[in-house]
Amino acid sequence: MTDSADKLRIDKWLWAARFFKTRSLAVDAVESGKVTMNEVRIKPAKTVGAGDMLVIRLGQYHFEIEVLGISNRRGPAPEAQKLYRETDESRARRAVIAEQNKALPLPTFKGRPTKRDRRDIERFETSTKGSSKNPWGDFE
């Protein structure tokens, strides 16, 4: 889990901790301000070490985590979860958002959507703030 070095680039760490599928997505998130370290906006080459606090915004969800370990290898999810610890407040906020999303009525359609159906779909997408289009937020 821990390499010989105590520091690692933030984009590599985010990829190894499985917050992003690719390093390029991690770089885009850091550059667009979706990731902050110790409440400061950072660049992709910034090094991260144990004890750093990160805020990662993925669409509607905000993860507030403390870095516990360093790894530049992307392993299985249980191994990646050992690299960080999420705060209780962050976990509670995400649970509330998930419950709100479950409570939203899902439109059901048969066949090709009509104009009315399309408007309903667009209304639904805007009410969930783009989460159905792009799971990483507004990177488009």
User: Which CATH architecture does the domain made up of 8-103 adopt?
Assistant: Roll (3.10)
Average pLDDT over residues 129-136: 52
pTM for the structure as a whole? 0.71
φ/ψ of 31, rounded to 5, equals: -65, -35
**Does pLDDT of 120 surpass 80?**
yes
CA distance 116 to 1: 53
Instruction: Check residues 45 and 138 and name the one with the higher pLDDT.
Output: 45
For the chain, the structural domain boundaries read 8-103
pLDDT digits (tens, 9 = 90+) for 83-117: 999 999 999 999 999 898 888 877 676 788 889 88
pLDDT digits (tens, 9 = 90+) for 20-47: 999 999 999 999 999 999 889 999 999 9
Residues with Cβ within 8 Å of 106's Cβ and at least 6 positions away in sequence, in order, are: 124
